[in-house]
Structures are given as structure tokens and as C-alpha cells.
Chains A and B, each alone.
Chain A
Amino acid sequence: MSVDFATVKRVARLARIAVSEEEANRMVGELNGILGFVEQLSEVDVEGVEAMTSVTPMEMKKRRDDVTDGNKAADIVSNAPVTDQNFFLVPKVVE
């Protein structure tokens, strides 16, 4: 399988990365190089093989559903580019 210019633009949109025409053109070649490389996986017989979900056999740890942390609003917003009274500010979403 390979990608064309339109697919690169669509994937960039899905990934929320703005790409110029020039970048998209360059990426067509690069991504096809990588997709060509991974194409060799199609020669592996995976019939009846389970897809890996956990590399180390382990039971998911569980804990009580209690609040153990919190009241740190000021810490949480302190690294944000734009805030107001412990809220993150974003461009207007709803008209």
C-alpha cells in the first residue's frame, strides 16, 4: 500500500499538523519509503496467532475508586500558555 498527496493531506488533518504543499510532497516520498519497508510483514504467516496486548504477562493492577490526589488547580494551569482564574483559555469554539 502507498500514499499519495491527497492521503498525506488527509492524514495530516487527522493528526492536526499543518503541512505546506512542499512538505506534503516531501512526505509522500518519505512515508512511502517507510510503508514499503514495513510491507515485508505481509509475508509472515500470522494465521491463528494472537495479537500481542501485553508484553509482560501481568494482571492489571486495581485500586479502590477513591480520591487520592487533587486540589492543585494552580499547579495544573501553571504551564499553560493562556489561562484565566484556573481555566485554560482556547479560541472560541461555539458561536
Chain B
Amino acid sequence: MSELTSLTIAEARTKLRAKEIKATELTEAYISAIEAANEKLNAYIKVTPEKALQMAEASDARLAGGKGGALEGIPLGIKDLFATEGIHTQACSHILDGFKPHYESTVTQNLWDDGAVMLGKLNMDEFAMGSSNETSYYGAVINPWRSGGSNQQLVPGGSSGGSAAAVAAHLCAGATATDTGGSIRQPAAFTGTVGIKPTYGRCSRWGTVAFASSLDQAGPIARDVRDAAILLRSMASVDSKDTTSVDLPVPDYEAALGQSLKGMKIGIPDEYRVDGMPEEIETLWQQGIAWLRDAGAEIVNISLPHTKYALPAYYIVAPAEASSNLARYDGVRYGLRVDGKDIVDMYEKTRAAGFGKEVKRRIMIGTYVLSAGYYDAYYIRAQKVRTLIKRDFELAFNAGIDAILTPATPSSAFGVADENLASDPVKMYLNDIFTVTVNMAGLPGIAVPAGLDHKGLPLGLQLIGKPFDEETLFKTAHVIEQAAGRFTPAKWW
């Protein structure tokens, strides 16, 4: 790792503005780092060095004229779910074979408008369906973290596994990611990085390949809380092209860092203590509570009684929406086509060849729960349970709670091709048990590294906030980060 790639976004920003370094040098350092590491980590599925250097040269010209934007010259990795004009955009699925959009997603356009540089597209679970990045058509991503003394390959989490691994291994200064049930926060926790899923409606979904439209939200994965704040400010916007984009000005999240927690009430929900959770996670949680208390916050025990129903409700709502959204992949307008004896045969063969196992499984579940006779029993019931989950949070916030502290995941990173998890899809789904409630209620949630387990692997804590109160999450996560320190994997790649 060269010195340049070890700079945070905030540090690089200062040096670029002071003309101590050039955007082209910084970009070249990242391109070399990617070339050296990607074969082992598989974080990038498409590297765009020519485009990166072109963008960096333009950044240098703007910086020389003193006209740099908020992210001028900062090299970023982009999850393959975001449409990037003229560049590979396949949600890491075979069914979008060769797809190159003629448009740019709003989130990535916002980043380029602020001067950021694109290094390439990052690996992910196919259509963002997965918690280990093993469902990607382009193969698993390897976590840059290893257990002490072991060379076993670990997963980086998912679905934004490429984003998390690239940030942790310093293969980009920061990355875009998306979160439908935990896909930003779980991989962030598994890689010692910071990930925030903002409130539903804060980032435009326009130009982001849809998985479950009422749950999907874009957000950043970054090396520290400040960098996440800087990235989210640029990613978020009010967008007339997305009817669920909320009409609220985007605050300067970075300004919240360093503010006092005095007088804040932090809720601790007992329902997040689950069977079989390792003792280390409980210890970490208690440590987090102590840090926030020391910083002047009041700790309040709260109850979110419908917590255990969030994951089962999610596995009705998300597949239902996915089965509808993924109906568009039919071999006619884009991507893969497998010929058949008639049009229906062509559809069926194309979708059989184009979708991976997990995606097919979810489309099947979604189709089943939406089919005649089952719609009320499954889908409507799940949406009612969702109302109750959201109400639990509303009651807590109405009672004066400012933010809720929970563990981010029920374990640290697990092994690639774990047989125990592969044998039962539901076991893999349980990875999202602490994160999925937040998507169901549309709330913001941040995962921040808080310590290492006995194997030397990172563990994260999650903070959940009120709608559009990301500032409180940044300020509180910053206190945890200051107390816990930062965690970087020892380089082996």
C-alpha cells in the first residue's frame, strides 16, 4: 500500500486543495493497487483506468484554477448496481450480459458533478440478493481480513461485498453501495469499515437496478465516519426523476462530527439479544453503551416488540417486489437471450440460464406469495406486520429516544463456501437479523467498527436514527470511532 492510497478522503481533499498532491498521482496509485490486488480479492469486476485518468486530469485542471468540487479528484469505486453511462452495468448477473446503459444514475452523476473520479465497477451479490457476495456471477469477493494465523478465505459480507472489501483494502478512497436488508451495514461490519444506509427517500433510486423498490436505498461505505459523511452529502439529493425522493435540503453531515452527546437519549432494545449470539457481541454492545454514557448520553432500555418478525416479513415483501421488478429481464430488450421454440420457451430458457440460484429462489417465493389465493395470507399480512415494526420505532422516538444502539451483525465474517450456511438458505438470511428492521421501517442506520473478536476479526455496532436525522447518527458514530479507534487489515494480498 503506497502512502497515497492510505489517505482518507478528508486527508486527500486537504492535500489536493493545497496542491501537495495531484488527482492524477492519487488515481494512478489506486490503479496500481487494484492491479496488484484484484486477482486475489476479486473486488472489482471492471476497472476503468483510462476513464479514471481522464477524470483525474480534468480534476487537476479545476483544482489548479481553484474551482474544485466537494470530492474533486477523489477516486471512488462504484457498485455494479448503479447505471454508469457506456460502462458495464449488470448487477453482477449473467442475465444483463453486455449491458451498457445510455444514462447515468442520479447518485453517480451527483458524485461526478462534485469532481469524484471513477476507478471501476465493484463486485456484489447478484441483484443485491445475498449476505456473503457469493451469489455474484463474477465469483466471490475475498475479505481482506483473515483470522489471526489462518489463511482461510473469509467472505466480506454482502450484498455490497466488493464495495466493503475495496474500501478495507484501500483499493478506492470510498465506495457507493446499496442496502435493501443490510447490504451496506453487514459488509461494513465484516470489514472494519463504516457504512450508512440513509433514510428511505434520501438518495435517489433513479438509475439504480431495482431489487425491492420500497426497501432499496443507496449509501456510502468509507474508511471512517467523516469520509462517510462527506460521501453521503454528495450522493444525496432531491430528484424529480424519483417520485420517492424526498423534498428536503441535504445538510452538511460533516458539521455534526464533534458535537456533544450531552442530553441525548440512547435506546437499548432488549429484543436484539438473540439466541446463540456470541458472548463477544454482547460484550461489544456493553462497551458501546459505556462509551456513549461516558460521552454524556443517557442510556434507556426500550422495547421493540415486533423485532423478531422483521426478517420473516422481509422474506415476503422483498421477494414479492423482486419478482415484479425482475420480470423485465425477458431476453427482448437487453442482456442475454437463449432461443426457444416459441416466445414463452425463449423467456423461460433465457431466465433459467440468466439468473443464479438465489435469485431464482427469491423470484419463486415472490411469485408464490403474490399468486391468487395467497396474496392476503402472505403479502398483505407482511405489510401489516411492517406497519407494526415501524410503530415500535415511532413509539420509542416519541418517548424521547434520539438514537438506538444495537450490534450490527450476529457474528464476525465467516468462511467462503461455508457448508453449514450453504445447506439452508434461511441460515444465511439470519445475517440480516439486526439490520433488516431498519429497512422495513425506512429509517437511517449506520454500522461503525467497534472492536475485534478473539480471532482478530472486526465487529461493528449499529446506530438507528429518526427519519432524516442522519446527522445524529454521524455525531454518535464518531464518538464510538474515537473511543474504539480504527481497524485496518494486515496486508497479505
Contacts and interface: CB of A to CB of B under 8 A. Distances in A.
Interface stretch (B4-12, B120-128, B379-387): B379-387
Given A1-B377, A14-B371, A34 B315 contact: yes
B383 A52 contact: yes
A8 B316 CA distance: 17
Give the dominant DSSP class at B's interface: helix
B382 A41 contact: yes
Contacts of B306: 44
Given A18-B351, A80-B332, A90-B332, A72 B337 contact: no
B240 A61 contact: yes
Contacts of B101: 79
Interface in B316-345: 316, 323, 327, 330-337, 339-345
Nearest to A17: B351
A54 B246 CA distance: 12
Contacts of B385: 41, 44, 46
Given A17-B348, A18-B349, A79-B334, A33 B364 contact: no
B102 interface: yes
Given A46-B381, A50-B384, A81-B335, A55 B246 contact: no
B413 interface: no
B367 interface: yes
Contacts of A56: 199-201, 244, 246, 442, 467
A19 B315 contact: no
Contacts of A31: 361, 364-365, 368
A15 B323 contact: yes
Contacts of B363: 15, 17
A33 B348 contact: no
Chain B contact patch, size range: 35 or more
Interface string A42-75: 1010100111111110101101000000001001
A11 B360 CA distance: 11
Contacts of A17: 348, 351-352, 355, 360, 363-364
A78 B85 CA distance: 13
Given A16-B351, A17-B351, A17-B364, A75 B102 contact: yes
Contact of B367 (A14, A46, A63, A81): A14
B364 A41 contact: no
Given A16-B344, A38-B378, A90-B346, A46 B388 contact: yes
Interface of B: 98-102, 199-201, 214-215, 240, 243-244, 246, 306, 308-309, 311-313, 315-316, 323, 327, 330-337, 339-349, 351-352, 355, 360-361, 363-365, 367-368, 371, 374, 377-378, 380-388, 390, 424-426, 429, 440-442, 467
9 contacts: A13-B348, A30-B425, A38-B313, A46-B388, A52-B386, A52-B387, A56-B246, A63-B240, A91-B341
Q: Which 8 A-B pairs have the closest CB atoms?
A: A55-B442, A51-B383, A81-B337, A79-B334, A18-B348, A18-B352, A46-B384, A38-B312
